[in-house]
Amino acid sequence: MGIETPFIIIIVFFSVVCHEIAHGYVALKLGDPTAYKMGRLTFNPVPHIDLVGTILLPAFFLISNSPIMLAWAKPVPVNPGFFRNPKTGMMWVAIAGPATNFAIAIVLTLFLHLASGILPSILVHSLAMGALMNIVLMVFNLLPIPPLDGSRIVARFLKGQALYNYRKLERFGIFIVFGLLYLGVISTILYPALNFAVRHLDLYQYLRL
């Protein structure tokens, strides 16, 4: 990624923290104070650091010179027992994270369109990459692989044995994710989303600086 890599890492880390805060905030609004009481609704990065998702996985992408970067923060604790409808509540909590990444991508893009002329090229390129990385985080988290957010959305519409069997996949989720990364399946899903974002957010002019 070049000399702008530190800036991109900062943007990605801030984005995954916002992602988790969004989960906790929506849970709080739906009646679950667990994350709030545990001090997880904070922009202080320390409580959000996850060994695999915040350190090892981004390091892997950097070492491998990958054009994309995946990361996650330590999941905020959510107790669906506080929700009036636990499955529906968990669905909205899950949606909040990817929606936040989408919002960050839009804000970064709007800022670029307004201020790119007065910013140094390294910062312009970093912000454009940060917007794309947020699209990556949104799409990645919407994959229906437990415990990713997409699985909480799918679970809302499953019942009985199908729901039970689907939730049992969660113990293997991290292995499924790394397996799909190794096989290139996740990249195959992410690249069309990135191309779509570059075109429709008009980011190409900033990425070629």
**What is the sign of the dihedral through the CA atoms of 142, 74, 128 and 62?**
negative
DSSP 158-206: --HHHHHHHHHGGGGHHHHHHHHHHHTHHHHHHHHHHHHHHHHTT-HHH
Give residue 48's identity as a one-letter amino acid code: H
Q: N- to C-terminal Cα distance for the chain? A: 13
Burial class (CB in 10 A: 0-12, 13-18, 19+), 40: buried
Residue 147 preceded by cis peptide, ω within 30:
yes
The active-site residue, picked from 8, 11, 20, 94, is: 20
> Is 4 labeled as catalytic in the residue annotation?
no
Report the catalytic residues: 20
